[in-house]
Amino acid sequence: MKTAYEKLFKHFKFVDALEMKNRLAMGPILTYASRENGEISDIDLTFYEKRVGGVSTVIVGPAFITENGQVAHGQIGIHRDHVIRKLHQLTQMIHRRGAKAILQLSHGGRKCVEMKNKWQAISPSEKPHKRKGKKPVQMTERDITYMVQAFGEATTRAMEAGFDGVEIDGGNECLLQQFMSRQANERSDSYGGSAENRFTFALEVIREVTRRAAHAGKPFIVGYTLAPKEKGYLGNKVEDTFEWIDRLVHTEIDYLHISALHEPTLSSEENRSLVSSIIKHVNHRVPLVGTGGLTATEVAEAFEKGLALITIEQALVVQPDWVEKVINSDEPASMDVTSLDKDMSLPPEVLAHWQDMHKNDRPY
């Protein structure tokens, strides 16, 4: 192993919780391969089995917590008890490979308007996800209470499936981010308006999830995904993100996951500045997880900035044994997305999505 990468393979321990064998985590990946009822498929199992060797942590998901929270066909679900059995097979396999398993809990909110099913998309307000797009239904306070409970019930199912923790998806333009954003939240009640009010829903979800986690009977961590900033008019700026961080560090979350530390619209220098400013503001008050990039050099550079764990997604999709190659000083100098065509474990939908995402550098 090259000396520059040795620090990536040092142990990391969450306070009074789990010890990770290194600083590399497989980030959440939407495989588009799960069954219609949200149950993971054999394709999912094969996909993960080929890629979890070497990492300390596998963040599975995004997993939708209710039927109307699904953002894509083939997405993993944690919405009903019937999904637990197959998810338990997945966590057992991850544990056998020496890694910890965390499930990302997600609800797409207004992103679900294009899903062709019987469920009506919901959101803080009726504002559509895209200009001239379909309008979601504005959530009532009863809907909000139900959704908080749904996150809690999903947490309990994750425990029963053998996961070592959950990650609340508060980024990726999903429901929790929609509540925190003035672009989606036009409410005038206690869940809208001021920054404090827009944070209320996320705070209630965190309280319910951490309450359930406290009864796991074993170390069980809770993370929170946060978007660094938003584009466009009324979008949250970095200063708003700092305010969310200040509120989040006073909750019982075990780590904060910045969902996109590499903004495709920014220059390399602007990206470095964004990463540095967020890490500086966090100031070790809570372990920070972020994306490392495609190459080992990029991952090492991200770690040196002060991240606790580094997530790798595209690199593992393109090169399933990426970590082993880094350990053996055999990692590729660059990553070619065309090599995906040679991976027969990937269904056509996954190939098409990842080739498109790699080309446009965008999240799910």
pLDDT digits (tens, 9 = 90+) for 13-71: 886 678 899 999 999 988 888 999 999 999 999 999 999 989 999 999 999 999 999 99
**Domain span holding position 306:** 12-360
Q: CA nearest 247: which of 198, 179, 210, 295?
A: 198
Residue 45 lies in a domain: yes
Confidence of residue 146 (pLDDT cuts 50, 70, 90): very high
Amino acid at 96: R
Reduced to 3 states (helix: H, G, I; strand: E, B; else coil), residue 168 is strand
Domains in the chain, number: 1
Report the DSSP beta bridge partners of residue 170: 226
- Give the CA count within 13 Å in the CB-facing half-sphere of 339: 11
Q: Are 76 and 61 in contact (CB under 8 A)?
A: yes
CB contact set of 322 (below 8 Å; sequence gap of 6+)? 54, 312, 315, 316, 331
Residue 36 lies in a domain: yes
101-140 pLDDT, tens digit per residue, is: 999 999 999 998 777 767 789 999 999 887 667 889 999 9
50-62 pLDDT, tens digit per residue, is: 999 899 999 999 9
Residue 5 lies in a domain: no
Residue 347 lies in a domain: yes
3-state class percentages of the chain: helix first, strand second, coil last, to nearest 5: 40, 15, 45
Residue 355 pLDDT: 63
Residue 149 lies in a domain: yes
Q: Are 113 and 134 in contact (CB under 8 A)?
A: yes
Residue 354 pLDDT: 60
pTM: 0.91
